[in-house]
Structure formats: structure tokens, C-alpha cells
Amino acid sequence: MKKLEKAYNPENFRKQAHEMVDMLADYLEDSAQSKNKVITYKKPEDQLDFWRNYDPTTSDFFKDVIENSIHIHNPKYIGHQVAAPVPITAIASMMTSILNNGMAIYEMGSTATALEKIIADKFAEKLGFPESSDGFLTSGGTLANMTALLAARQEKSEQDVWKHGNEANYAIMVSEQAHYCVDRAARIMGFGEKGIIKIPTNTNFEMETSILESYYQKAQEENLKVIAIVGSACSTSTGSYDDLNKLADFAQEKNIWFHVDGAHGGAAVFSKKYKHLLNGIERADSVIIDLHKMMMTPALATIVMFQNKKHSYQTFHQKAQYLWEKHEDEDWFNLAKRTFECTKYMMSVKFMSIVKEHGFCLFEEYIDKTHDTTLAFSNYIKEHSDFEIATDPKSNIICFALKNDLDIQEHNRVHSEIRQKLVEDGEFYIVQTTLNGKVYLRLTIMNPFTELHHLKTLLEKIQTI
């Protein structure tokens, strides 16, 4: 029992927690001032060897984890769509980790369940959804998109798929620039490659709505039953927003489900300046928004919203008498009836810790700042003789490249090498994407303290490389 007593000793925890808070505060301070590299790059085999040979009895484990991890809070981190979490969420995370209230049923997570309902009501208001709407949190955009599409299949199929399985060749229509998780969800649901109808995009990488009818008719000729159309708000590679009103019109005309993948860009509903990008989202049957992207919350936390709350119950309707007595009732407080997870983390507490400390207005300030910085950088590139952009940015994502006369193969090699050298150098962290066969360097301004002067320095570094 001595080891167990030591493991659960409150005084040990008090001491360790104070040390950790000091360490994380130092990390935040150093990151904000770019005192350390964004990434200390090791090849996968070298990283594995480091930890295989690691002796935690003679080293500071937590300090070494920090030093060997990517530093999201450094303003020169401008890579993937991952939030630099508001520090108060770390305190909330510590608390929820100790409480460890699983949220399958109300009794196991009553506080977090009530907070989740308040969050869903706020998102319904911002989305322009009616009082008959509802939603819940789930573990990430991939699972959220699949949850919404499962509801779409259940609603638009001719039989109860939950009971009888797929008895038709179901299909969805989606932009060729959509996130790969939509494709993955359809395949998991048994639609196969034919069931994912990818619609080409225009020069701005937005779904080409003028050809929707022809693609729909072709699907019918191939004996495919289209049940849904998915709008990207925004796309991952370029941050482009599909025309949601036109997609809503099409869905209404064909009596199919209209889903919006707003994992990254959906948070713009909190900004008066940028919410116009989401015109038409209020007409969607379902919407997902990642809180861990543009809402400064630690991963993973994604909200799934339904225009009609009854659709949020029909995806996973099954009996589990040991969990709830009135299994036929649509009781909002037993979340396992509506989510894939049975044990669900207390995501709502982390998000509401931001709201409690800073108010919902913080999200608007964050969205405006990151978007404004991206637009300022775009304008700077347009005036620069050595660089070009792929398309005018609509969000906080921008793709650019060096102007050159190289053939496409050599262009791609050079830009991939530039990106790799940047990662190995570690001062900046960026990613790359391929558009129409051409490699572009891609930035996502996730840190609110990334300024134009940081981005100018990046361009100078690229020129040097």
C-alpha cells in the first residue's frame, strides 16, 4: 500500500502542481518572445531512440517533454490548424482530469452535461438556428462529421439503416477540396469509392455549383442514391468557403441533407466582421465546429449542431437498460444516446473556463486579429516581386510560392526542400499543400500574437534558403 499512498498523496500533488505551473508559465513567456525554437526537429528514429533510452529517474521528465515538443504558443508557429490554448484551460484540464467524470449518463457528469447544453444553445443562437435545434460536443471533427452524416443517412434512407444496414447504394456530394475525414466517414459507412461524389472547384477553390445538377444526374444513372451534400466552411488547404446558400438551394430542391463542415471556419459566426463568409449556414441540417481550432480550446472538442434536435437522437437509438430507465425518451441529458462515445471527456468545462474568465467576446477579437493579419500578409505578398499567392485568402489560411520559371516537377522539389529546411532549422514551422499539381507553402495564422513583421522575416528566410 505504500506506493499507492504515495501516488495519491495530496501534498505530493500540491508540490508537483506548483512546479508544473511555474514551468508552463516560463514556457508561455519564452514562447511569446520567441526565445526558443518552435520545433527542435529530430528524425522519427532519433526521437524514438531518445525516449527508449530515457531514464526518468535521473532526468526531468516534464521539462524534457516540453523541450522535445512543438511550441504552439510561439508566434512563429504558423503551420497546422491547432489552437494555442488560452492558459486558463490548462487549469480546467487539470481539474477535469482529477474529477474524471465520464459523461455517458447524467449522473456521471451532471455539471459538464449542463454546461454542454448552455454551449449548444449559444451556438444555435450564433448560427441562426431555431429553438427546435440542439447539439452536443464530441471528440474531434472526424467523429463529428461522421455523426452528422450518420444522422443524414438515417433521415434520408428509405429504411431503418440502424436496424437493417445499407440496402441501397448511398452517396454524398462534396467538394474535391473538402477535408479527407468526410471521405473517410463515407467509406466507414460503407458507401465505397463510388459513394463519394467529388465536385470540382473553381479558380478560388470553392465548389463549382454550376455543375451540381449534372453530377447528380450522373449519380442517378449509376444507381446511386444521393442523401447529402457537404459544404466546406472552410476548406483545409486554402481556407476557401463554399457558397452555402447555393448548396442549401440545391439540397432543398433535391430533398437531400445539407451538412456544413465548419470545423475550421465555422467559428466566424462569432465575428461581426467575418460572419458573412458563412451566409446560408443557418439553412443547414447539421453543422460541426472545432473548438480546438479557432476557439482557443485544447484538443479535442467539437460541437455538432442539428437544425432539428430530433435528428440528433436517431443516429444511435438503441436500448441500454442498465444506463437509463426511460430509453424511449429524448432526454437531452443522457448524452450517450446521441454520441459515438460512451465515456466522454468533460470538454465543456475547458471551453466554459474561457467564457467565464474572458467572455464570448474574446472569440470575436481572436478571429478578427488572425484574419486581419492574414489579409495584411496577402497584400504584402502581392507587392513583393519574388512571391505569389495561390488565391486571395478568405480566412486565416494562405498559400504562396516563389515566382519562378521552373517546370512543375522542379518547382515542387524546390518548395518541398524549402519547407523541410525550415522545419529542420526550427525557427519557424509551416506546412505545404498541393493545388492543381503545384506545391505551395501554406500558413495558418493560429497564434493571435503572430504579427506581420514575423511573416516578413519568414519570407526573408525563405529567400536565403
Q: What is the pLDDT of residues 445-464, one digit of tens each?
A: 999 999 999 999 999 999 99
Average pLDDT (391-400) is 97
Average pLDDT (7-12) is 94
- Nearest-Å Rg of the Cα atoms of the chain is 24
Q: Whole-angstrom Cα distance, residue 446 to residue 391?
A: 19
Residue length of the chain: 465
Please, which residues bridge with residue 196 across strands? 172
**Nearest in space to 132 (alpha carbons), one of 7, 265, 309, 4:** 309
Segment 182-203, tens digit of pLDDT? 999 889 989 999 999 999 999 9
Higher-confidence residue: 72 or 179?
A: 72
Backbone φ and ψ for 431, nearest 5 degrees, come out as: -125, -175
Segment 216-265, tens digit of pLDDT? 999 999 999 999 999 999 999 999 999 999 999 999 999 999 999 999 99
Average pLDDT (358-382) is 98
Give yes or no for a contact between 177 and 205, defined as CB atoms under 8 angstroms apart. yes
Average pLDDT (16-33) is 96
Average pLDDT, the chain: 93
Element (H, E) at 127: helix 110-127
Residue 165: band (very low, low, confident or very high) from pLDDT cuts 50, 70, 90: confident
Ordered structural domains, the chain, with CATH: 1-86+361-465 (3.90.1150.170), 101-358 (3.40.640.10)
Least confident of 7-11, 163-167, 252-256: 163-167
At 323 the pLDDT is: 46
User: Cβ atoms within 10 A of the Cβ of 129, count?
Assistant: 24
Query: What's the Cα-to-Cα distance from 90 to each of 65, 74, 342, rounded to whole Å?
Result: 16, 17, 24
Backbone φ and ψ for 250, nearest 5 degrees, come out as: -65, -45
